[in-house]
Amino acid sequence: DWTMAEFRATKIAEIREQVGDGKVICGLSGGVDSAVAAVLIHEAIGEQLTCVFVDHGLMRQGEAEQVVSLFKGSYNIPLVHRDVEELFLSGLAEVTDPEAKRKFIGKTFIDVFEEEAKAIGGADFLAQGTLYPDVIESVSFTGGPSVTIKSHHNVGGLPARMNMKLVEPLRELFKDEVRELGRELGLPEAFVGRHPFPGPGLAIRIPGEVTKERCDILRKADAIYLEEIRNAGLYDAIWQAFAVLLPVKTVGVMGDARTYDSVCGLRAVTSTDGMTADVYPFDATFLTNVATRIVNEVRGINRVVYDYTSKPPGTIEWE
Protein backbone atom coordinates (compact mmCIF):
# COMPACT_ATOMS: atom_id res chain seq x y z
CA ASP A 1 0.00 0.00 0.00
CA TRP A 2 1.57 3.27 -1.10
CA THR A 3 0.26 5.28 1.84
CA MET A 4 1.95 3.06 4.39
CA ALA A 5 5.09 2.83 2.26
CA GLU A 6 5.18 6.60 2.29
CA PHE A 7 4.48 6.80 6.01
CA ARG A 8 7.31 4.33 6.59
CA ALA A 9 9.77 6.38 4.54
CA THR A 10 8.70 9.65 6.14
CA LYS A 11 8.96 8.26 9.66
CA ILE A 12 12.37 6.73 8.99
CA ALA A 13 13.64 10.13 7.84
CA GLU A 14 12.07 11.80 10.90
CA ILE A 15 13.57 9.29 13.30
CA ARG A 16 17.04 9.75 11.78
CA GLU A 17 16.63 13.50 11.98
CA GLN A 18 15.43 13.42 15.60
CA VAL A 19 17.97 10.91 16.86
CA GLY A 20 21.09 12.00 15.00
CA ASP A 21 23.89 9.80 16.26
CA GLY A 22 22.25 9.35 19.66
CA LYS A 23 21.39 6.07 21.32
CA VAL A 24 17.82 4.85 21.64
CA ILE A 25 16.41 2.32 24.07
CA CYS A 26 13.08 0.65 23.33
CA GLY A 27 10.98 -1.31 25.76
CA LEU A 28 9.06 -4.22 24.29
CA SER A 29 5.81 -5.10 26.01
CA GLY A 30 5.04 -8.24 24.03
CA GLY A 31 2.39 -6.45 22.01
CA VAL A 32 2.13 -5.43 18.38
CA ASP A 33 2.66 -1.70 18.97
CA SER A 34 6.03 -1.80 20.65
CA ALA A 35 7.22 -4.47 18.20
CA VAL A 36 6.25 -2.38 15.17
CA ALA A 37 7.86 0.71 16.71
CA ALA A 38 11.06 -1.23 17.38
CA VAL A 39 11.31 -2.72 13.88
CA LEU A 40 10.68 0.70 12.30
CA ILE A 41 13.28 2.40 14.47
CA HIS A 42 15.76 -0.41 13.84
CA GLU A 43 15.30 0.13 10.13
CA ALA A 44 16.01 3.83 10.64
CA ILE A 45 19.02 3.72 12.91
CA GLY A 46 20.21 0.08 13.17
CA GLU A 47 22.77 -0.49 15.91
CA GLN A 48 21.94 2.76 17.68
CA LEU A 49 18.81 0.98 18.96
CA THR A 50 18.81 -1.34 21.94
CA CYS A 51 15.61 -3.27 22.59
CA VAL A 52 14.77 -4.34 26.10
CA PHE A 53 12.11 -6.91 26.74
CA VAL A 54 10.88 -6.41 30.27
CA ASP A 55 9.50 -9.83 31.05
CA HIS A 56 7.32 -9.02 34.05
CA GLY A 57 5.85 -12.51 34.30
CA LEU A 58 2.43 -11.06 33.50
CA MET A 59 2.40 -12.23 29.87
CA ARG A 60 0.03 -14.72 28.34
CA GLN A 61 1.01 -18.33 27.76
CA GLY A 62 3.94 -18.64 25.34
CA GLU A 63 4.11 -14.91 24.71
CA ALA A 64 7.59 -14.20 26.04
CA GLU A 65 9.04 -16.97 23.84
CA GLN A 66 7.28 -15.53 20.77
CA VAL A 67 8.75 -12.09 21.28
CA VAL A 68 12.26 -13.39 21.80
CA SER A 69 12.12 -15.63 18.74
CA LEU A 70 10.68 -12.86 16.55
CA PHE A 71 13.40 -10.39 17.41
CA LYS A 72 16.43 -12.63 17.78
CA GLY A 73 15.39 -15.22 15.22
CA SER A 74 13.48 -13.48 12.43
CA TYR A 75 14.88 -9.96 12.55
CA ASN A 76 18.24 -10.44 14.17
CA ILE A 77 17.58 -7.34 16.25
CA PRO A 78 19.65 -7.45 19.43
CA LEU A 79 17.41 -7.92 22.40
CA VAL A 80 18.09 -7.66 26.09
CA HIS A 81 15.70 -10.08 27.78
CA ARG A 82 15.23 -9.13 31.43
CA ASP A 83 13.42 -11.69 33.55
CA VAL A 84 11.96 -9.49 36.28
CA GLU A 85 8.96 -11.56 37.30
CA GLU A 86 10.09 -11.67 40.91
CA LEU A 87 10.52 -7.90 41.07
CA PHE A 88 7.03 -7.29 39.70
CA LEU A 89 5.21 -9.98 41.66
CA SER A 90 6.81 -9.06 44.96
CA GLY A 91 5.99 -5.40 44.37
CA LEU A 92 2.40 -6.26 43.46
CA ALA A 93 1.85 -8.34 46.58
CA GLU A 94 -1.12 -6.93 48.43
CA VAL A 95 -1.72 -4.21 45.84
CA THR A 96 -5.42 -4.45 44.96
CA ASP A 97 -6.33 -0.97 43.75
CA PRO A 98 -6.40 -0.88 39.90
CA GLU A 99 -4.66 2.47 39.59
CA ALA A 100 -2.07 1.50 42.20
CA LYS A 101 -1.28 -1.62 40.14
CA ARG A 102 -0.96 0.41 36.96
CA LYS A 103 1.24 3.01 38.63
CA PHE A 104 3.51 0.43 40.23
CA ILE A 105 3.92 -1.44 36.94
CA GLY A 106 4.56 1.75 34.96
CA LYS A 107 7.12 2.97 37.47
CA THR A 108 8.88 -0.39 37.66
CA PHE A 109 9.10 -0.57 33.86
CA ILE A 110 10.82 2.80 33.90
CA ASP A 111 13.20 1.64 36.66
CA VAL A 112 14.21 -1.38 34.58
CA PHE A 113 14.70 0.77 31.47
CA GLU A 114 16.83 3.10 33.48
CA GLU A 115 19.08 0.24 34.61
CA GLU A 116 19.41 -1.00 31.04
CA ALA A 117 20.12 2.49 29.77
CA LYS A 118 22.95 2.71 32.29
CA ALA A 119 24.20 -0.73 31.27
CA ILE A 120 24.68 0.40 27.68
CA GLY A 121 26.48 3.53 28.81
CA GLY A 122 23.45 5.80 28.67
CA ALA A 123 20.72 6.36 26.09
CA ASP A 124 19.53 9.68 24.76
CA PHE A 125 16.07 8.55 23.72
CA LEU A 126 13.35 6.22 24.91
CA ALA A 127 11.21 4.70 22.15
CA GLN A 128 7.59 3.78 22.84
CA GLY A 129 4.77 2.29 20.80
CA THR A 130 2.24 4.85 21.96
CA LEU A 131 -0.83 5.06 19.71
CA TYR A 132 -3.27 7.87 19.17
CA PRO A 133 -6.05 6.34 21.31
CA ASP A 134 -3.55 5.89 24.18
CA VAL A 135 -2.76 9.58 24.03
CA ILE A 136 -6.43 10.56 24.10
CA GLU A 137 -7.63 8.16 26.76
CA SER A 138 -4.94 9.04 29.26
CA VAL A 139 -5.93 12.68 29.01
CA SER A 140 -9.68 12.41 29.04
CA PHE A 141 -12.58 10.30 27.92
CA THR A 142 -14.52 11.33 24.79
CA GLY A 143 -13.11 14.83 25.02
CA GLY A 144 -14.46 15.46 28.51
CA PRO A 145 -12.56 17.62 30.96
CA SER A 146 -9.62 15.98 32.73
CA VAL A 147 -11.19 12.72 33.85
CA THR A 148 -8.53 10.04 33.92
CA ILE A 149 -10.15 6.71 33.24
CA LYS A 150 -6.98 4.64 33.42
CA SER A 151 -3.31 5.52 33.55
CA HIS A 152 -1.83 3.82 30.53
CA HIS A 153 1.56 2.60 31.52
CA ASN A 154 3.22 3.64 28.26
CA VAL A 155 2.04 7.22 28.20
CA GLY A 156 3.05 10.19 30.22
CA GLY A 157 6.09 11.99 31.40
CA LEU A 158 9.33 10.31 32.23
CA PRO A 159 11.02 11.13 35.47
CA ALA A 160 13.15 14.24 34.93
CA ARG A 161 16.22 12.39 36.24
CA MET A 162 16.17 10.11 33.19
CA ASN A 163 17.07 12.91 30.90
CA MET A 164 15.81 11.03 27.84
CA LYS A 165 13.63 12.31 25.07
CA LEU A 166 10.76 10.27 23.67
CA VAL A 167 10.66 8.69 20.23
CA GLU A 168 7.05 7.76 19.51
CA PRO A 169 6.68 7.12 15.79
CA LEU A 170 3.17 5.62 16.08
CA ARG A 171 1.62 8.51 17.98
CA GLU A 172 -0.68 9.50 15.12
CA LEU A 173 -1.82 5.99 14.28
CA PHE A 174 -4.82 3.87 15.14
CA LYS A 175 -4.47 0.15 15.70
CA ASP A 176 -5.51 -0.94 12.19
CA GLU A 177 -2.90 1.43 10.76
CA VAL A 178 -0.20 0.01 13.03
CA ARG A 179 -1.07 -3.45 11.75
CA GLU A 180 -0.81 -2.20 8.18
CA LEU A 181 2.56 -0.67 8.95
CA GLY A 182 3.67 -3.94 10.56
CA ARG A 183 2.77 -5.83 7.37
CA GLU A 184 4.57 -3.19 5.33
CA LEU A 185 7.65 -3.86 7.51
CA GLY A 186 7.31 -7.60 6.89
CA LEU A 187 6.22 -8.72 10.35
CA PRO A 188 4.55 -12.15 10.24
CA GLU A 189 0.77 -12.04 9.88
CA ALA A 190 0.32 -14.18 13.00
CA PHE A 191 2.12 -11.52 15.01
CA VAL A 192 0.59 -8.46 13.35
CA GLY A 193 -2.94 -9.84 13.65
CA ARG A 194 -2.67 -10.49 17.37
CA HIS A 195 -5.25 -9.02 19.66
CA PRO A 196 -4.11 -5.99 21.64
CA PHE A 197 -2.58 -6.74 25.02
CA PRO A 198 -2.24 -4.05 27.69
CA GLY A 199 1.14 -3.04 29.04
CA PRO A 200 0.25 -3.96 32.65
CA GLY A 201 -0.54 -7.46 31.36
CA LEU A 202 -2.40 -10.04 33.38
CA ALA A 203 -2.16 -7.88 36.52
CA ILE A 204 -5.19 -5.90 35.36
CA ARG A 205 -7.06 -9.09 34.47
CA ILE A 206 -6.82 -10.35 38.04
CA PRO A 207 -8.97 -8.00 40.11
CA GLY A 208 -7.73 -8.11 43.69
CA GLU A 209 -4.37 -9.53 44.63
CA VAL A 210 -2.02 -10.75 41.90
CA THR A 211 0.05 -13.81 42.73
CA LYS A 212 2.13 -16.20 40.64
CA GLU A 213 -0.42 -18.92 41.31
CA ARG A 214 -3.31 -16.76 40.08
CA CYS A 215 -1.34 -15.72 37.00
CA ASP A 216 -0.76 -19.40 36.18
CA ILE A 217 -4.44 -20.24 36.62
CA LEU A 218 -5.46 -17.33 34.39
CA ARG A 219 -2.89 -18.22 31.71
CA LYS A 220 -4.37 -21.71 31.41
CA ALA A 221 -7.98 -20.51 31.15
CA ASP A 222 -7.04 -17.76 28.69
CA ALA A 223 -5.13 -20.21 26.48
CA ILE A 224 -8.11 -22.58 26.32
CA TYR A 225 -10.47 -19.72 25.43
CA LEU A 226 -8.19 -18.43 22.67
CA GLU A 227 -7.57 -21.92 21.34
CA GLU A 228 -11.31 -22.46 20.99
CA ILE A 229 -11.71 -19.06 19.32
CA ARG A 230 -8.97 -19.89 16.81
CA ASN A 231 -10.38 -23.35 16.16
CA ALA A 232 -13.79 -21.83 15.46
CA GLY A 233 -12.18 -19.44 12.96
CA LEU A 234 -13.32 -16.41 14.96
CA TYR A 235 -9.99 -14.90 16.02
CA ASP A 236 -9.77 -12.25 13.30
CA ALA A 237 -13.41 -11.23 13.67
CA ILE A 238 -12.78 -10.26 17.29
CA TRP A 239 -10.88 -7.17 18.39
CA GLN A 240 -9.90 -8.61 21.73
CA ALA A 241 -10.79 -11.72 23.68
CA PHE A 242 -9.44 -12.71 27.06
CA ALA A 243 -10.21 -14.32 30.36
CA VAL A 244 -10.20 -12.58 33.74
CA LEU A 245 -9.83 -14.26 37.11
CA LEU A 246 -12.17 -12.90 39.75
CA PRO A 247 -11.41 -12.61 43.46
CA VAL A 248 -14.65 -14.41 44.23
CA LYS A 249 -15.07 -18.04 45.18
CA THR A 250 -18.28 -19.90 44.61
CA VAL A 251 -19.52 -23.38 45.39
CA GLY A 252 -19.68 -26.08 42.77
CA VAL A 253 -19.79 -29.84 42.43
CA MET A 254 -17.32 -32.08 40.62
CA GLY A 255 -18.15 -35.78 40.62
CA ASP A 256 -19.36 -36.41 44.15
CA ALA A 257 -17.35 -33.65 45.73
CA ARG A 258 -18.08 -30.08 46.69
CA THR A 259 -15.75 -27.48 45.18
CA TYR A 260 -15.10 -23.97 46.35
CA ASP A 261 -13.05 -22.17 43.71
CA SER A 262 -12.62 -18.96 41.72
CA VAL A 263 -14.87 -17.53 39.04
CA CYS A 264 -13.45 -16.91 35.57
CA GLY A 265 -14.92 -14.16 33.39
CA LEU A 266 -14.71 -14.25 29.60
CA ARG A 267 -14.62 -11.08 27.52
CA ALA A 268 -14.74 -10.67 23.75
CA VAL A 269 -15.41 -7.44 21.91
CA THR A 270 -15.43 -5.99 18.43
CA SER A 271 -13.99 -2.52 17.93
CA THR A 272 -12.05 -0.45 15.44
CA ASP A 273 -9.86 1.54 17.80
CA GLY A 274 -10.55 0.32 21.33
CA MET A 275 -12.32 3.54 22.26
CA THR A 276 -15.77 2.05 21.90
CA ALA A 277 -16.57 -1.64 21.75
CA ASP A 278 -19.43 -4.05 21.23
CA VAL A 279 -19.81 -7.44 22.84
CA TYR A 280 -19.02 -10.32 20.50
CA PRO A 281 -22.17 -12.45 20.16
CA PHE A 282 -20.88 -16.01 20.49
CA ASP A 283 -23.46 -18.68 20.16
CA ALA A 284 -24.41 -20.49 23.34
CA THR A 285 -22.90 -23.80 22.27
CA PHE A 286 -19.51 -22.20 21.81
CA LEU A 287 -19.54 -20.57 25.25
CA THR A 288 -20.85 -23.72 26.94
CA ASN A 289 -18.03 -25.71 25.42
CA VAL A 290 -15.39 -23.19 26.55
CA ALA A 291 -16.87 -23.07 30.06
CA THR A 292 -16.87 -26.85 30.31
CA ARG A 293 -13.28 -27.13 29.13
CA ILE A 294 -12.04 -24.44 31.54
CA VAL A 295 -13.78 -25.93 34.57
CA ASN A 296 -12.60 -29.45 33.66
CA GLU A 297 -9.04 -28.55 32.76
CA VAL A 298 -8.06 -25.67 35.02
CA ARG A 299 -7.69 -26.41 38.69
CA GLY A 300 -8.77 -23.40 40.74
CA ILE A 301 -11.75 -22.41 38.56
CA ASN A 302 -15.20 -23.94 39.02
CA ARG A 303 -17.45 -21.37 37.33
CA VAL A 304 -17.30 -19.34 34.12
CA VAL A 305 -19.32 -16.23 33.25
CA TYR A 306 -19.54 -14.16 30.05
CA ASP A 307 -19.30 -10.36 30.13
CA TYR A 308 -22.14 -8.74 28.15
CA THR A 309 -21.12 -5.11 28.74
CA SER A 310 -20.34 -2.82 25.83
CA LYS A 311 -17.92 0.12 26.01
CA PRO A 312 -19.12 2.56 27.14
CA PRO A 313 -20.31 2.10 29.83
CA GLY A 314 -17.86 -0.76 30.49
CA THR A 315 -14.21 -0.50 29.58
CA ILE A 316 -12.63 -3.36 27.65
CA GLU A 317 -10.28 -4.40 30.45
CA TRP A 318 -11.78 -4.93 33.87
CA GLU A 319 -9.29 -2.63 35.62
Strand, helix or coil for residue 39: helix
Least gap, CB of 199 to ligand XMP (angstroms): 3
**Residue 30 makes contact with ligand XMP by CB under 6 A:** no
**Residues in binding contact with ligand XMP, number by CB under 6 A:** 14
The verdict on whether residue 138 carries a ligand-binding annotation is: no
Binning the chain into helix, strand and coil, the percentages to the nearest 5 are 45, 20, 35
Pick the binder of ligand XMP from 48, 240, 262, 302 (CB under 6 A): 240
The verdict on whether residue 33 carries a ligand-binding annotation is: yes
The verdict on whether residue 32 carries a ligand-binding annotation is: yes
The verdict on whether residue 35 carries a ligand-binding annotation is: yes
Residue 300, classified by CB atoms within 10 Å of its CB into exposed (0-12), middle (13-18) or buried (19+), is middle
Are 25 and 119 within 8 A, CB to CB? Answer: no
- Binding window for ligand XMP (CB under 6 A); candidates: 39-47, 88-96, 119-127, 151-159: 151-159
Q: How many CB atoms lie within 10 A of CB 195?
A: 18
Rounded CA separation 191/259 (Å): 39
Pick the binder of ligand XMP from 42, 152, 205, 303 (CB under 6 A): 152
**Residue 153 makes contact with ligand XMP by CB under 6 A:** yes
185: Cβ–Cβ under 8 A, 6 or more apart, which residues?
Answer: 8, 36, 39, 40, 43
Pick the binder of ligand XMP from 16, 81, 103, 150 (CB under 6 A): 150
- Binding window for ligand XMP (CB under 6 A); candidates: 8-16, 36-44, 147-155, 166-174: 147-155
The verdict on whether residue 314 carries a ligand-binding annotation is: no
**Residue 171 makes contact with ligand XMP by CB under 6 A:** no
81: Cβ–Cβ under 8 A, 6 or more apart, which residues?
Answer: 53, 55, 64, 68
- Which residues contact ligand XMP by CB under 6 A? 150, 152-154, 196, 198-200, 240, 274, 311, 315-317
